[in-house]
A and B are shown apart, each in its own frame.
Chain A
Amino acid sequence: MLDSIPSFSRLVAELAKFPGIGNKTAARLAFHILRSQESEALALADAICDLKKKIRFCSICHHITESDPCPLCTDPARDEQVVCVVEEPQDLISIERSRSFHGRYHVLHGALSPLDGVGPDELHMHDLVERLKEGRINEVILATNFSVEGEATALYLARLIKPLGIRVTRPAHGIPMGSDIEYVDEATVHRAVSGRQEL
């Protein structure tokens, strides 16, 4: 039925490419755009183009940025002796939102996964080591995911970094804040109890 309205079906098809968006949701979004003011539709289109035109990856930490180097890498208030390594830009944003960390970052853009053909050369690992060799950094926090691949990536990096005489740490993991122990899965409780801390 949509075939008879090519401009509409084209938009639906484009929207349906988004993660988490199926054909039905795509059609709903398309109807929403159709009903909105032309200025709003243009603003959306412009925002998308602007993003693609302006956003680059920082040549130092590889986070998304409009200016290179990125504000996180140039901010003099941040501690340049500590660098936090994450898999994806989203992870960096999560840590920033927590306001728990005030050092520099390094985004790998993935994790080691031979099954997906991802080795050290496919990730931003070599230039991390180059950054470390400059000598200003004395601690690396390996904040890769706690998945099979994330753990292996952390271990690989730890072995690469430790010989440089730099302290390597990994965030603690265990029971999430605000959750009842009762509802947490056994494996997590097990890890949390064995990694307990003195009060």
Chain B
Amino acid sequence: MQLEKLTLRNFRNIEATEFRPHPVFNIFYGSNAQGKTNLLESIYLLGSLKNFRSARNDELITHGETAATIIGCTRQNDVGHEIRLDINKEGKQARLDGKVINRPESYLSCLRPVVFAPEVVGLIKGPPAGRRQLVDRAVFQADAGYLENVQTYSRQLKQRNRLLKTGGQVEQVETWSSELARTGARIRYARAAYLERLIPRLLDSYRNICGEKETISLNYRAAGKGITELEQELLDEYGRQLEQELRYQMTLCGPHRDDIEFMVDGRPLRNFGSQGQQRSFILAFKTAQALDLQQLHGEPPLLLLDDLTGELDKRRQERFYQFLLNLKTQVFITATDIRPLHDGGIKEGYFIRVKEGNLHNDKS
């Protein structure tokens, strides 16, 4: 997975820039609030059509302008593509090789970016929705069929919730329960299967890349169960909750309300973990995800690393840079100071100074 050219127009504080990234290391450095993270955000948005920090469309557009554009030339297994995302106040439109996409799968397979950012570390202590999203995005990058199940589920959920709100008869609600259980079981199964595959890598990364000693794991309720069992389990759940759901007029259980627990030595990380452990956990999760994608698609994904020097101490940084040097994938890093990167062995690549939304490329 390679990004060979990035073109931005009116994206946040970047009015116009065209940039040909280095095949391995690209370091955006400079003072705070100059637009370093905006560059990572644009790449993530372009590659995944999602954001890693919350923003309305009009916040993504340069003040005083009406539309923003991100264009990327990508190369994957020797095939080049142009992906383009246009953003205006009403919405976003994505094009693959000039054509508006109607199914996102092939578009999304062009970059598959994996991001490590302070916002992501925050998900550990936050509400379950954030952890669900973290896992869901990882599952989706590895399994294209997952998106269809999620979309179907969300449509069925809307239908069922409307029915509960408008006081529909029980027979109708039960019909939608069965439909939800069928799709929901597949979602839970896909999540559990993904996590089961990820956990050995996760543990390995946590110990070897982050240099931690504890045993970590991810707890998910569906682990080790078959689809039929999960469907029956969901049907029972909906059945038990029905009375309450009729009272509250919404669907109260199912995969859209699940939590995925991050565990350290058998205890939930959100209650007991230190800041350092939390960062290591997320970093381990992201590296495990990257290695998994590498095995799946034959190429490692693009890595976007926001403010590594601020998030990790020197010891963790050095081990992680060693990992990056071995992985040989395209990496985009933001930093206020480039010395720790130099010290960690990252010397070859583009070091780009970002000032007031402009890029100053000093090759090294």
Give me the interface of A with B, judged by CB distance under 8 Å: 112-115, 117, 119-120, 148-149, 151-152, 155-156, 159-160, 185-187, 190
Query: What's the tally of chain B residues with a CB closer than 8 Å to chain A?
Result: 23
Given A120-B172, A186-B105, A152 and B159 contact (CB-CB distance below 8 Å)? yes
| CB pair A148 B172 closer than 8 Å | no
Complex Cα–Cα for A151 and B182 (A): 11
Q: Which residue of B lies closest to A120 (CB)?
A: B172
Q: Which of B105, B156, B159, B175 gathers most chain A CB within 10 Å?
A: B175
Is B134 in the interface zone, CB < 8 Å from A?
A: no
Instruction: List the 3 closest pairs (A to B, CB-CB), nearest first.
Output: A114-B163, A114-B162, A156-B175
- In the assembled complex, the CB of A176 is this many whole angstroms from the nearest CB of chain B, namely 16
* Besides A115-B162, A117-B166, A152-B179, 10 new A-B residue pairs in contact (Cβ under 8 A), listed by A number: A114-B163, A120-B172, A152-B175, A156-B171, A156-B175, A185-B103, A186-B105, A186-B148, A187-B148, A190-B145
Complex Cα–Cα for A47 and B119 (A): 65
Is B155 in the interface zone, CB < 8 Å from A?
A: yes
Given A115-B159, A185-B103, A159 and B179 contact (CB-CB distance below 8 Å)? no
| CB pair B148 A148 closer than 8 Å | no
- In the assembled complex, the CB of B341 is this many whole angstroms from the nearest CB of chain A, namely 40
**Contact pick for B176, options A117, A152, A160, A187, CB 8 Å:** A152
| CB pair A115 B158 closer than 8 Å | yes
- In the assembled complex, the CB of B239 is this many whole angstroms from the nearest CB of chain A, namely 14
A-side binding surface: helix, strand, loop or mixed? Answer: helix
Complex Cα–Cα for A187 and B145 (A): 6
Interface digits, B176-192 against A, CB 8 Å rule (1 contact, 0 not)? 10110000000000000
Given A120-B172, A155-B175, A159-B175, A113 and B145 contact (CB-CB distance below 8 Å)? no
- In the assembled complex, the CB of B247 is this many whole angstroms from the nearest CB of chain A, namely 18
- In the assembled complex, the CB of A184 is this many whole angstroms from the nearest CB of chain B, namely 11
| CB pair B159 A114 closer than 8 Å | yes
| CB pair B103 A159 closer than 8 Å | no
User: Which residues of A have CB within 8 Å of B103?
Assistant: 185
Given A114-B163, A119-B168, A120-B172, A152 and B145 contact (CB-CB distance below 8 Å)? no
Q: Which residue of A lies closest to B173 (CB)?
A: A114
User: Which residues of A have CB within 8 Å of B148?
Assistant: 186-187
User: Which residues of A have CB within 8 Å of B105?
Assistant: 185-186
13 A–B contacts, CB within 8 A, in A order: A112-B159, A112-B175, A114-B162, A114-B163, A114-B168, A115-B159, A151-B179, A152-B175, A152-B176, A156-B171, A160-B171, A185-B103, A186-B148
